[in-house]
């Protein structure tokens, strides 16, 4: 029986609000707060329509800690689900510590002026959260998030030792726009234009952006060209599963997407250093975000599926074993449920599940944690109940 404050009213915030509203036995009162109040109000209207639950809304700048603290004190939540942007993570964690509130997010902290994401900044809060008797759950979307739970589940039920992990992420959907990103354009483009990186034999290997790729066969979709990227869960997974000899992340992009991205890069529109335009400083990537479609607006005509999973090789009882666990999610089906597209849905559902497990004390210990550090079983059971059923293949041929 808990009050929850959701921060961020984008595509993911919309899904989290709907899923928390459905979980009436866990979340007794819900507030959705974000920078633009009208977006919160629109979501509240949709939540009422789809679930019959009335949620409260508020305007807040989550980078302004005193303003946030004031809002938290007036509403009195037991936890905050942060689905704003990675830039806000530390500010929201600070506000949680000041007000005695638990914390969950779906993306690790990134400084706004350097395109670099890593857990060090948030892991550094470990002692403060422990001392305060509060918990922070990091990266509880799909990837990061479910991919960590899948890996923990594989370790618990299928392997003595994990050796090779390949996370494979495919969006085979078509939204009908010439170019759009499926989650916040600024964060998405910063991630993809960085150097790629993977873990092998105890060290990180860096590669040029999108320079390694191969076709991967995705269930119910078929072969799609997949590009090796650095993705944040690799950092915590190689730490928490030290037997891994190699860990990589692959994501599909259409040729059309890559061509658009290259052109935008070539003309300087993906840059994050301010430039002078008519006497004012503007950041090219932030300007680009402003002219691209909002990720939350893509759902209406989106057709096709996503497929995200973990392909793992390792050893069980002295024998080599392969294991593949994945979820497919259909854009049109989830649009009917809550006006979402599948990328927002596959992020928002796990965030609401993580929050549910925290509030039920099934996943609750003071400190700062990644999802794979908890018992994966209740999470896996909830995925099946909450709209993201998973499937597994044992000892079948893997892509890698």
In the bound complex, what is the minimum distance in angstroms from residue 396's beta carbon to ligand NDP?
26
Structure tokens at 320: 């080599």
In the bound complex, what is the minimum distance in angstroms from residue 317's beta carbon to ligand NDP?
33
Region near ligand NDP per CB under 6 A, out of 182-190, 251-259, 260-268, 299-307: 182-190
Tokens 């928390």 sit at which residue? Answer: 20
* CB-CB neighbours of 88 under 10 Å: 22
Q: Determine if 306 is a binding residue for ligand NDP (CB under 6 A).
A: no
Going from the C-alpha of 314 to that of each of 80, 311, 325, the distances in angstroms are 37, 10, 14
Answer positive or negative: Cα dihedral of 230, 232, 233, 237.
Answer: positive
Going by the DSSP 8-state scheme, the letter that residue 20 receives in this structure is H
Q: Determine if 39 is a binding residue for ligand NDP (CB under 6 A).
A: yes
Q: Determine if 10 is a binding residue for ligand NDP (CB under 6 A).
A: yes
Q: Which is nearer to ligand NDP, 112 or 207 (CB)?
A: 112
Residues 319-338 that bind ligand NDP (CB under 6 A): none
Q: Which is nearer to ligand NDP, 90 or 205 (CB)?
A: 90
Going by the DSSP 8-state scheme, the letter that residue 36 receives in this structure is -
CA 319/CA 310 separation, integer angstroms: 20
Q: Which is nearer to ligand NDP, 215 or 282 (CB)?
A: 282
Identify any residues that bridge with 374 across adjacent strands, giving them in sequence order.
none
Binding mask 190-209 for ligand NDP (x = CB under 6 A): --------------------
Q: Determine if 63 is a binding residue for ligand NDP (CB under 6 A).
A: yes
Rg, C-alpha atoms of the chain: 20
Residues 130-159 that bind ligand NDP (CB under 6 A): 141-145
Q: What secondary structure does DSSP assign to 76-131, as a single string?
A: --SEEEE-S-GGGHHHHHHHHHHHT-EEEESS----TTS----SHHHHTTHHHHHH
- For 86, phi then psi, to 5°, come to -55, -25
Residue 117, exposed/middle/buried by CB under 10 A (0-12, 13-18, 19+)?
buried
Three-state DSSP class for residue 360: coil
In the bound complex, what is the minimum distance in angstroms from residue 107's beta carbon to ligand NDP?
4
Region near ligand NDP per CB under 6 A, out of 9-17, 116-124, 222-230, 249-257: 9-17
Site residue total, ligand NDP (CB under 6 A): 35
Q: Determine if 173 is a binding residue for ligand NDP (CB under 6 A).
A: no
Q: Determine if 183 is a binding residue for ligand NDP (CB under 6 A).
A: yes
In the bound complex, what is the minimum distance in angstroms from residue 231's beta carbon to ligand NDP?
9
Region near ligand NDP per CB under 6 A, out of 200-208, 298-306, 340-348, 364-372: 340-348
Q: Determine if 36 is a binding residue for ligand NDP (CB under 6 A).
A: yes
Q: Determine if 299 is a binding residue for ligand NDP (CB under 6 A).
A: no
Three-state DSSP class for residue 42: helix
Interacting residues toward ligand NDP by CB under 6 A:
7-13, 34-36, 39, 60-63, 83-86, 88, 106-107, 141-145, 183-184, 187, 295-296, 343-344, 347
């Amino acid at each position: 029986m808990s009050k929850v404050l959701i921060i961020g009213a984008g595509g993911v915030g919309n899904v989290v609000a709907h899923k928390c509203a459905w979980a009436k036995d866990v979340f007794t009162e819900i507030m959705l707060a974000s920078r633009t109040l009208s977006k919160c109000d629109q979501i509240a209207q949709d939540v009422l329509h789809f679930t019959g639950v009335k949620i409260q809304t508020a305007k807040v700048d989550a980078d302004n800690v005193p303003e946030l603290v004031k809002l938290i004190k007036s509403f009195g939540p037991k936890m905050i689900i942060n689905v704003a942007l990675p830039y806000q993570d530390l500010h929201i964690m600070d506000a949680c510590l000041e007000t005695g509130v638990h914390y969950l997010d779906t993306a690790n902290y990134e400084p706004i002026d350097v395109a670099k994401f890593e857990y060090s900044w948030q892991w550094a809060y470990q002692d403060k959260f422990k001392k305060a008797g509060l918990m922070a759950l990091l990266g509880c979307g799909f990837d990061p998030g479910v991919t960590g739970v899948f890996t923990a589940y594989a370790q618990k039920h299928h392997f003595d030792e994990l050796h090779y992990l390949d996370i494979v992420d495919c969006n085979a959907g078509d939204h009908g726009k010439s170019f759009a990103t499926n989650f916040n354009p600024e964060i998405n483009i910063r991630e993809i234009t960085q150097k790629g990186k993977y873990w092998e034999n105890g060290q990180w290997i860096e590669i040029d952006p999108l320079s390694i790729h191969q076709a991967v066969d995705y269930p119910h979709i078929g072969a799609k060209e997949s590009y090796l990227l650095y993705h944040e869960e690799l950092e915590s997974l190689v730490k928490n599963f030290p037997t891994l000899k190699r860990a990589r992340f692959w994501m599909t992009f259409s040729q059309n997407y890559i061509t658009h991205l290259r052109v935008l890069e070539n003309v300087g529109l993906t840059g994050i250093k301010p430039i002078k335009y008519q006497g004012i400083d503007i950041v090219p990537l932030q300007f680009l975000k402003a002219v691209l479609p909002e990720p939350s607006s893509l759902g209406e005509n989106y057709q096709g599926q996503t497929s995200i999973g973990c392909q793992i090789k390792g050893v069980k009882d002295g024998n080599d074993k392969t294991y593949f666990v994945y979820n497919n999610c259909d854009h049109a089906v989830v649009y009917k449920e809550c006006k979402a597209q599948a990328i927002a849905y596959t992020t928002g559902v796990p965030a609401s599940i993580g929050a549910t497990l925290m509030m039920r004390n099934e996943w609750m210990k003071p400190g700062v944690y990644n999802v794979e550090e908890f018992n994966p079983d209740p999470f896996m059971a909830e995925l099946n109940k909450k709209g993201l059923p998973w499937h597994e293949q044992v000892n079948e041929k893997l892509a890698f």
